[in-house]
A and B are shown apart, each in its own frame.
Chain A
Amino acid sequence: MALLSNAAVLVGKEVRTEFRSRELLSTTIVFVLVVVVVFSFTFDPTSSESRRFGPGLLWMAFLFAASLMLQPCFLREQTADTLTALRLAVEDPFAIFLAKIAANTLFLLLMELLMLPVFAALFNVSFAAQLPAILLTFFLGSLGISVVGTALAAISAQARMRELLLPLLLLPLLTPVLVVSTEVTIRLMQAEPYLEWRGIGLMAAFDAVFLTVLWLFGEYFLEE
């Protein structure tokens, strides 16, 4: 199907470009680290406190990092006007979004998984037993952040004060992701961990709804 094959080619390009310079990934990872350290000064990181506040702090750090990491998504396409070339080349403009969402989700996931052992060490919590569940949670959360974030990146790339605008628009819209993924992660970190399926369902619903909305309205974001 043309949409998926286009998106696949585009994802390949996004990933290749990023791994060549790795500047986005490395800056984001360092940023998350900084945020986690700074936040940890705001509470006493004993084991029980860590379990209570840790996941919230982790997801907030992810959200802040994402709101910065998603900026270049469309800004990069403006320097040599490659966005025009993409629009000319693809049948369905949604392929451009799909590819960027896939790439952004991948980068976010990578960043989160790299942060996980660091977080575990800093706060003395263990994730080993719950790794598949953690992966699922991180994936659904990152997907939600990417879907909404990529759409808003397309909007903010056309506005003034774009560096401030994207985080400003993104964070309120992502409230459900923050709330639900924090809850699910808390459950996965507690003394008797378990996977909160209702939370997973809510996250999946969020992702599905916004992906559909973007599919319906995607071409208008890129219109001139």
Chain B
Amino acid sequence: MLRRIVFAVVAIGLVACATYASFYVAPEERTMGAIQRIFYFHASTAWAGETTFFVCFVANLLYIWKRKPQYDWLGLACAEVGAACITVVLVTGPIWAKPVWGIWWTWDARLTSTFVLWILYICYLLLRTLLDEPERRALLSALFGVFAFIDVPIVFGAIRWWRTQHPAPVIMGGPGSGLDPVMKKVFFFNVLAMHVFAGFLIAERYYLEKTRHGVELLQREAEAR
């Protein structure tokens, strides 16, 4: 319990500091103005979402190999937190894009791939709700998760190639490209903070799943008597 509280405090604290830094430490961007500050939050959440997706993939593989329910709980927690991260990314992106570039959305490589990634996460979660038996659910969703993860780089590659054929406005230059050194530090601090926060959320979700599982076992044992 103490560990969870400490983790919570550290995670929230880091995010608070990172937000402060984004608003007060980082210099104002020349062309875009204050709205650019959303970039720190947006891009760092995107990175956290991608890391989470990778951890989900590893958890899926481990479940297929070892069949321990803990890996299933981890995969589920990562998928939910990852989906939340990407949702944030897809919402903050347009909020930033509209005032700066005048458009809500563009079908460039990165945005389109992110959208597909988000849909795949949602499909994983949806699939889980449609499988009743716990071991089948864990195994089949893990298999889908593996397929989805392997597909993502191919999706990105294919869409990027497609985009070279049909050039479109590229908005949101890559993070770290031409960033002022102070901005870079603030950005990477945000990345750290978002990763820790995502980790905290995953841990809490994992704990919730573990508890739910324990309750189910107790219920069954009570029924059997």
Interface residues of A (CB under 8 A from B): 148, 151-152, 155, 158-161, 165, 168-169, 172-173, 175-176, 179-180, 183, 198-199, 202, 205-206, 209-210, 213, 217, 220-221, 223
| Chain B residue nearest to A178 in the complex (CB) | B158
Nearest-CB distance from B65 to chain A (Å)?
10
Cβ–Cβ < 8 Å partners of B123 in chain A: 168-169, 172
Q: Which of B116, B131, B132, B143 contacts A172 (CB 8 A)?
A: B116
Nearest residue (CB) in B for A182 is B162
A164: min CB distance to chain B, Å: 9
B140 touches A172 (CB 8 A): no
Among A158, A169, A175, A223, point to the contact of B158 (Cβ < 8 A): A175
Q: Which of B36-44, B144-152, B168-176 contacts A (4 or more CB under 8 A)?
A: B144-152
A contact residues around B157 at 8 Å (CB): 176, 202
CB 8 Å contact bits of B100-140 with A (1 = contact, 0 = none): 00000000000000001001100100110011100010011
Report the Cα distance A179→B155, complex, angstroms. 9
Query: How many whole Å from B205's CB to the nearest CB in chain A?
Result: 23
User: Which chain B positions have C-beta within 8 A of A152?
Assistant: 144, 147
Which secondary structure dominates chain A's binding surface? helix
In chain B, positions 39-60 with a C-beta closer than 8 Å to chain A are none
Q: How far is the CA of A151 from the CA of B144 in the complex (A)?
A: 9
Shortest CB-to-CB span from B138 to chain A, Å, is 11
Contact of B147 among A158, A159, A213 (CB under 8 A): A213
B161 within 8 A of A: yes
Give the nearest-CB partner of A174 in chain B: B151
How far is B150's CA from A158's CA once the two chains are assembled, in angstroms?
23
Q: Are A210 and B147 in contact (CB-based, < 8 A)?
A: yes
Docked CA distance A173–B148 (Å): 7
Chain B contacts for A183, CB-based, 8 A: 161-162, 165
Known: A161-B130, A176-B155, A199-B161. 18 other contacts (CB 8 A): A148-B147, A152-B147, A159-B127, A160-B130, A169-B144, A175-B116, A175-B159, A176-B151, A176-B158, A179-B162, A180-B161, A183-B165, A202-B158, A206-B154, A209-B154, A210-B150, A217-B64, A221-B143
Bound-state CA distance A173–B123 (Å) is 10
Residue in A158, A173, A198, A217 whose beta carbon sits within 8 Å of that of B131 in the complex: A158
Q: What are the residues of chain B within 8 A of A202 when measuring CB–CB?
A: 154, 157-158, 161
Residues of A within 8 A of B150 (CB): 209-210, 213
8 A-B interface contacts by CB (under 8 A): A155-B143, A155-B144, A159-B140, A168-B126, A172-B120, A179-B158, A183-B162, A213-B147
CB pair A158–B136 under 8 Å, yes or no, is yes
Instruction: For A221, list chain B residues within 8 Å (CB).
Output: 140, 143
Pick the most buried of A176, A199, A202, A221: most chain B CB atoms within 10 A of its CB. A176
- Tell me, in angstroms, the Cα distance from A183 to B132 when the chains sit together: 40
B155 partner residues in chain A, CB cutoff 8 A: 175-176
B113 nearest CB neighbor, chain A only: A175
Closest Cβ–Cβ distance, residue B153 to chain A (whole Å):
10
Residues of A within 8 A of B148 (CB): 173
A151 to B140 CA separation, bound complex (whole angstroms): 10
Q: Which residues of B contact A210 (CB under 8 A)?
A: 147, 150
Neighbouring B residues of A169 by C-beta, 8 Å: 123, 127, 144
Taking a contact as CB atoms closer than 8 A, the residue among B120, B130, B136, B140 that contacts A173 in the complex is B120
Closest to B160 in A: A179
CB-CB under 8 A from A151, the residues of chain B are 143, 147
